[in-house]
Amino acid sequence: MATIFTKIIQGEIPGYIVAEDERFCAFLDAFPVQYGHTLVVPKREENYLFDLEDAELSEMILFAKKVAAAIKKATSCNRVGIAVMGLEVPHAHIHLIPIQKEKDMDFNHKVPNPDPEKMKEMAAAIQSNL
């Protein structure tokens, strides 16, 4: 059965895709820690990030680097934090989170009821900075 991430990539369920190529996709997290919180995933389903082949993992990190640069420009954040947790969805993924300070990456304090219009604007801002 396809993961929720695969369903977003294939357009079966809505998502705010900000970047993609033939191997990877980046889209806004539906339950963001900060506006601009983006997930980078391989299009090929793999449960654990570190089970990816070395070349694929390297390419994914380079793809994430481009997305992170666009997030930084779009949000004027101090840095883009990165987290790899991967327990909530069985599909390898990297969290990219715009932060001003370290506590901005606290996954226990997510944006309550993210505003769809603000999410759409954030996706467009990230896309325009790629």
Q: Is the dihedral of CA 44, 45, 49, 53 positive or negative?
A: negative
Work out how many domains the chain is built from and give that number: 1
List pLDDT tens digits, range 87-124: 889 999 999 999 999 999 999 999 999 999 999 999 99
From 37, 91, 93, 95, active-site residue:
93
List pLDDT tens digits, range 17-72: 999 999 999 999 999 999 999 999 999 999 999 999 999 999 999 999 999 999 99
Question: Left if phi > 0, otherwise alpha if psi is -120 to 50, otherwise beta: which for 11?
Answer: left
pTM assigned to the model: 0.96
Structural tokens at position 20: 């993609």
> To which H or E segment does residue 61 belong?
helix 54-75
Q: What is the CATH number of the domain that holds 24?
A: 3.30.428.10
* Catalytic residue check, 93: yes
